[in-house]
Amino acid sequence: MGVQKWIKKYTKIITRYLDSLTPMLGYIWHTDEMKVKANGEWVWLWNVMDEDTRFMLSSLISKKRNIRDARKVFQKAKEVAGRDNPQAMVTDGLPAYIKAFNKEFFTLRNPRVKHVRMPRFIDPVNNNVVERAQGTIREREKVMRSMKEDLPAQEIIDGFRAYYNFIRPHQALEGKTPAEEAGINLELGENRWMDLIRKATNRPVSNRRFTALNNP
């Protein structure tokens, strides 16, 4: 079985398992979206990232950039977070974010989530966070272009989110992964992909198939 078939087989299993783990997050989340080409088609890639841990809460593919799509990425982030809402959500100036934010986060009760709209990201701190997220998105775009059309773009993105949160050490986190920074330590070995699949399936997995996947 080729690498792509293994990815297709195990991505949903791994994603379901990892999304059941609750990260300990900060109180500011960042959301952005950009146009990328996947399987020969231009689509929108959305993501929500926690500022403190760099944990990627949600990454979704959509053909449009409307309120419904913005709500879906917010809903997924809240599902993965598994706790109270953040204190602030930072977005760009896309109009769809306003109604989507009000639907998903607005409440008359305190504490309320603050919606920070930053069309140009003037604040240097916020700009650094967004630049890192954009770099991650560019990596994902390269991955999608390298894959054949028999893999749905969302499955590729889900696999990359697992890699970003649980496999890849981050220099900004002193060599830790976002998952470790968020208090999730799965004690993965040298071949982290294989160990993730073992934990997600509770069964042995051949080491040979996943050696290359640890260094995409």
Compute the average pLDDT of residues 90-116.
Answer: 92
- Give the pLDDT confidence score for residue 124 in this predicted structure: 47
Q: What are the pLDDT digits (tens) for 176-201?
A: 999 999 999 998 888 888 888 889 98
Q: Which domains does the chain have, with CATH numbers?
A: 3-202 (3.30.420.10)
Task: Report the mean per-residue pLDDT for the chain.
Answer: 81
Kindly report the number of other CB atoms within 10 A of residue 148's CB atom: 8
Exposure string of 110-134, with b = 16+ CB inside 10 Å and e = fewer, is eeebebeeeeebeeeebeebbeebe
Going by C-alpha positions, the residue among 126, 141, 120 that lies closest to residue 34 is 141
Token pair listed for 64: 């449009």
Report yes or no on whether pTM surpasses 0.85: no
Q: Cite the DSSP H helix spans in the chain.
A: 3-18, 67-81, 96-104, 124-146, 153-162, 178-181, 192-201
Query: What are the residue ranges of helices labelled H in 19-152?
Result: 67-81, 96-104, 124-146
Report the pLDDT value the prediction gives residue 202, as an integer from 0 to 100.
Answer: 80
When pLDDT is cut at 50, 70 and 90, the band that residue 141 belongs to is low
Q: Show the CA angle centred on residue 76, arms to residues 20 and 136, nearest 5°.
A: 95
Can you tell me whether residue 28 is helix, strand or coil? strand
* 165 pLDDT higher than 90: yes
pLDDT over 80 (residue 140): no
Q: What is the pLDDT of residues 38-54, one digit of tens each?
A: 777 889 989 899 999 99
